[in-house]
Structures are given as structure tokens and as C-alpha cells.
Amino acid sequence: MYVILVYDLEAERTYKALKLGRRYLTHVQNSVLEGEISEGDLQKLRGELEELLKPGESAILYELSSDTLVNRSVYGEDPTKDQRFL
Amino acid sequence: MYVILVYDLEAERTYKALKLGRRYLTHVQNSVLEGEISEGDLQKLRGELEELLKPGESAILYELSSDTLVNRSVYGEDPTKDQRFL
């Protein structure tokens, strides 16, 4: 399946969510990752997210059965074209 | 249709994207809004986003034909339960 992950952690802890997310997904914007993921990896990601988050922090996981169900448009500069995102 | 909007603007300008997005969608996390939107309003939102963004800033718009196509899970504290999001 295809998932979109958006997270909101304390500023000095955001790198932890990014590091976790990158093990499974592609970083597409500041606090957003997306990509194809297996059911097994999704279960792992869910567990690791729950473990990572502290009070006041959150993450939203949108699951789609396929990325063909979503039409994706980027406005402004596409951050994935920025070297920092490679 | 149902859309998810994530934006990444310069810190002192994020309120502008939030203000714009809120005219059409519901604020669900720090830089994330979502909701049902008409084709007409979506066209307006697209135009306004393009006008708003400065170099280095971006917004991603995920369009779904229906919110039933997406399974949404929130980890940590659901920010929409926070008064700041009302």
C-alpha cells in the first residue's frame, strides 16, 4: 500500500521522526514522507512511531490502497529537487 | 473530492498558508489541512497557493476522489483535540 506520513515533534526532536520515517519512506517535504510500504513494515512503523512520540507530539498516517488513487501536485519549489532531501 | 494540503513556508510566513488553507479546509496538524472541497474551490485554492509561495517555499496537495479511499491514523496526541486548532 501507499502511505503519507506527516509529523509534528518538538523542534529539536524532529530529526528522530525523519530518521525513523526514512527507513521506510521517501522524504518529500519538511515534515512529510511518503511511499509504498509492505503490511509488515507498516506495522513496524506504527509501533516505532508510538514509541517515539512524547506528549504534545503527533504523527498522522494516511494509508491508501494504491498511489494511483491520489493526484499529487507540488506548488512552489519541489523540495525533493533540493539536495538536502537526497 | 477530498484533499490533504501540507505546506512548508518560511517560519514567519506560515500563518499566511494556514489562513489561506483554513478558508477551504480543516487544520489537522501543524502544517497540514484536509477536507472535502468542490472543484471550483480547489481551483481557487491552487491559484492562491501559487500566488502565496516564495522561492524556497512549497506546498503539496494530495487529491482523492473520496475520503473513503484513505485510512487515517493519528499517533501521539491528536492536535485537532487541542483548543488551538478550533
pLDDT tens-digit profile of A7-52?
Answer: 999 999 999 999 999 999 999 998 999 999 999 999 999 999 999 9
What integer is the mean pLDDT of A49-70? 87
Residue A11 CB contacts under 8 Å (≥ 6 apart), including other chains: none
Kindly report the nearest CA distance between residue A71 and chain B, in angstroms: 5
Per-residue pLDDT band for A86 (boundaries 50, 70, 90) equals very low
In the chain, the amino acid numbered A4 is I
Q: How far is CA A72 from each of CA B15, B36, B62, B77, rounded to the nearest angstrom?
A: 23, 16, 5, 27
Residue B59 in contact with partner chain A when CB distance is under 8 A: yes
Angstrom distance (rounded) from CA B27 to CA A66: 25
CA distance B47 to A7: 26
Task: State ipTM.
Answer: 0.84
How far does A31 lie from chain B, in Å, by closest CA?
A: 8
- Does B13 or A68 have the greater pLDDT score? B13
- Put simply, the answer to whether A57 touches B77 (Cβ < 8 Å) is yes
Give contacts of A 37-56 with B, CB under 8 A: 46, 49-50, 53-56
Question: For residue range B27-43, what is the model confidence (pLDDT) as tens digits?
Answer: 999 899 999 999 999 99
Lowest mean pLDDT among A43-57, A61-75, B33-47: A61-75
In whole angstroms, give the CA distance from residue B26 to residue B14. 16
The whole-number pLDDT of residue B57 equals 92
pTM beyond 0.95: the answer is: no
